Amino acid sequence: MLQIVDLLLWQLLLLPAASCVSLPLVPFLCDNIETNQKINTAQISIKNGISIPDNLAVYLQTQECYKCDLILTTAVRNECVINVDSRWPMRVEIRVMSRNANISNVTESCSEKSLTRMYTEGGQYSIYIDKDNDNNINCTQAVINEPSDPNIPIYIALGGAVFLILLWNFGKFLYRLGYIHRIVYFWSTESMMSDLGTPTNISQMDDNAVSRPVVEAKERLRSLDTFRGMAIVIMIFVNYGGGDYWFFGHSTWNGVTVADLAFPWFIFIMGTALAFSFQGQLKKNVPRWKISVRILKRSAKLFLLGLLINSFGADSGVDFTTFRIPGVLQRFAGTYLITATSFLLLAPQPNTNQYTRLSPIRDIVNYWPEWILYLAFIGLHCAITFALDVPGCPRGYLGPGGLEQSRQYFNCTGGASGYIDRLFFGEKHIYQSPTSQEVYKSTVPYDPEGLLGTLTSCVQCFLGLQAGKILINHNDWVKRCRRFFTWAIILAGLGLLLCKCSYNDGWIPINKNLWSLSFVFVLSGMAFFLLMICYILVDVYKVWSGGPFFFAGMNSIALYCLHEFFSGRAPVYFMVHESHASLLPMNLWGTAFWLLVSVYFFYKNIFITV
């Protein structure tokens, strides 16, 4: 009973002092409380060496939370062990408050500057607070247990991947020399010699096989399917959890992580493939109205598939009052519909014999109406983003809301982008748990695949279409690669200029949730560069077959739908210990499983398209 009264008095005492922070009351009075350590956390033991009745107020905040105030987390009487986030540097501040002293006598014992650091996952640390003979506060921080590098499972996985690649290439080398054939032949004929006999000359048989005429079929560029396969493999891996490493998940708000690469690259390569598909149909004089019907059908199929995927996991039935309407495939559908239709209506009829002084840049000048259209898309997106009046929010707000900027714009998550989605779809029909929610504690739903971002994703698809136009209009591989590299530098430079090479303080930060203009430019620049590398290795010098990504790229939509359906189910998911060392192998297995399925589909001539 005494402890309860003590706790109430302590919270009343802290109320005026904590009015400047996010949480006005201390959640609990921590006194010798043991906490179970979890993944992505470290433990701090805070020891109060000051004579009772002085207590300690602990304030915490991760540096990932941009312009956020420290949060009053707990009070410590004697000693308390707390968990802190180890994914990003942690801001820590401890203040001494006497229950018997005047409230104005609150003193700062351990400043944020002295305690802020990057805590290692699984590590154990201590902070000891006492007073010297002159009654000055002393803060001593020490490492109790510094664990091994939590990224060791990644290093092992990379080493295993390198070993398998070397083993595979060594096997191919032996196969070319005929050793694999001889070994298989030896073991298969040793026990059946009396029934089947043996050939008299293996090398002669091989020579005869080689001497047969080979008819080479004209192949599509394998680098396009390889690039698409890389995007879908990354998408599957991060969707399955990525070993629960933060950099394999989506960014909290601004910035780019591995998970943020897959979707825009997939949209980029969709535009590149679109150029080849339509160019072939236009050369065959397929009526444009027939092509437009195909565009509508494919867009509708993608949208309906996206709605079906959104219904996965609804074991008790779909509740249409809270059913999410936007999604990944829905964004694909809208982007494809707009980009393909504009290309169909505005692209000139193919003419390979046309040559003018502008031929070196014909991949641009021949399509000038499209450039005007997409520049208008950029202007419209910027006008809506920075000029739309969002109730209760400043114009041009691009932040996550919640705790950012001392909670001034708590319900402004996503600014104009979020407002449009909540107005158009309704709050209950968009994504309820945005990535910013964990850190910024926002409560407003926000959908990363919303309406406004479709404009800039169309720009990204158009830039991929530009890569396809380069491949179509220029036959020399050197000219193609020179243009790819030039576009990569220009776009990446524009993106970095817009964000001022800053994580949070640029004019337009790189942001996947908003699908910001700087995000589109930087990711498109990366896509141009990666496509150039794939093209050189796979199609020019042929030092890489594109495997195993090539197989996944040939059935990308099928793999995406299947991996979503089996998420959390066997044979790709099992209950394991909550650690990187357990989760990473399981997520890698889930990704490898769908790669094996794609290989099986390829050799069985199973190609599922929409």
Task: Give residue-wise pLDDT tens across range 529-584.
Answer: 999 999 999 999 998 888 899 999 999 999 999 998 888 888 888 888 888 888 99
Using DSSP's 3-state secondary structure scheme, residue 178 falls into coil
- State residue 287 phi and psi, 5-degree precision: -55, 140
R_g of the chain, CA atoms, integer Å: 30
Positive or negative, the CA dihedral 469, 474, 477, 483 is negative
Mean pLDDT, residues 25-42 taken together: 68
pLDDT, tens digit (0-9, with 9 covering 90-100), for 489-531? 999 999 999 999 999 999 999 999 999 999 999 999 999 999 9
Residue 328 · residue 448 · CB < 8 Å:
no
Residue with tokens 């199929």: 301
User: Which two three-digit tokens encode residue 225?
Assistant: 């399917």
Beta bridge partners of 57: 75, 95
For 323, half-sphere exposure in the C-beta direction (CA atoms, 13 angstrom radius) is 14
Query: What count of other Cβ atoms lies within 10 Å of the Cβ of residue 405?
Result: 17
Can you tell me the distance from the alpha carbon of 46 to that of 198, in angstroms, rounded to the nearest whole number? 79
Residue 582 · residue 569 · CB < 8 Å:
no
Query: What count of other Cβ atoms lies within 10 Å of the Cβ of residue 426?
Result: 13
Could you confirm whether 250 is annotated as catalytic?
Answer: yes
Residue 13 · residue 99 · CB < 8 Å:
yes
Residue with tokens 């074991």: 315
Residue 475 banded pLDDT, cuts 50, 70, 90: confident
Residue 169 banded pLDDT, cuts 50, 70, 90: confident
Tell me what the pLDDT averaged over the chain comes to.
Answer: 83
| The predicted structure's pLDDT at residue 350 | 64
- Strand order in 137-145's β-sheet? 79-85, 41-48, 124-131, 137-145
Can you tell me the distance from the alpha carbon of 36 to that of 150, in angstroms, rounded to the nearest whole number? 18
Residue 327 · residue 449 · CB < 8 Å:
yes
Residue 238 · residue 259 · CB < 8 Å:
yes
Lowest mean pLDDT among 195-204, 222-231, 313-322: 195-204
Task: Estimate to the nearest angstrom the gap between the alpha carbon of 53 and the chain centroid.
Answer: 49
| The predicted structure's pLDDT at residue 492 | 95
Can you tell me the distance from the alpha carbon of 215 to that of 304, in angstroms, rounded to the nearest whole number? 41
Using DSSP's 3-state secondary structure scheme, residue 393 falls into coil
Task: Please tell me whether the peptide bond between 571 and the residue prior to it is cis, using omega within 30 degrees of 0.
Answer: yes
Q: Is 60 exceeded by the pLDDT of residue 144?
A: yes
User: Which two three-digit tokens encode residue 350?
Assistant: 């193919």
Residue 467 · residue 484 · CB < 8 Å:
yes
| The predicted structure's pLDDT at residue 577 | 84
Positive or negative, the CA dihedral 597, 601, 603, 604 is positive
Q: Is 70 exceeded by the pLDDT of residue 388?
A: yes
Query: What count of other Cβ atoms lies within 10 Å of the Cβ of residue 402?
Result: 25
Residue 95 banded pLDDT, cuts 50, 70, 90: confident
**Which amino acid appears at position 228 of this protein?**
R
- State residue 344 phi and psi, 5-degree precision: -65, -40
User: Which two three-digit tokens encode residue 303?
Assistant: 């949208």
Beta bridge partners of 90: 62, 117
Residue 145 banded pLDDT, cuts 50, 70, 90: confident
Q: Is 60 exceeded by the pLDDT of residue 80?
A: yes
Write down the catalytic residue from 250, 429, 474, 580: 250
Q: Cα dist. 78→81, 213, 602 in Å? A: 11, 86, 65
- State residue 228 phi and psi, 5-degree precision: -60, -40
Q: Is 80 exceeded by the pLDDT of residue 29?
A: no
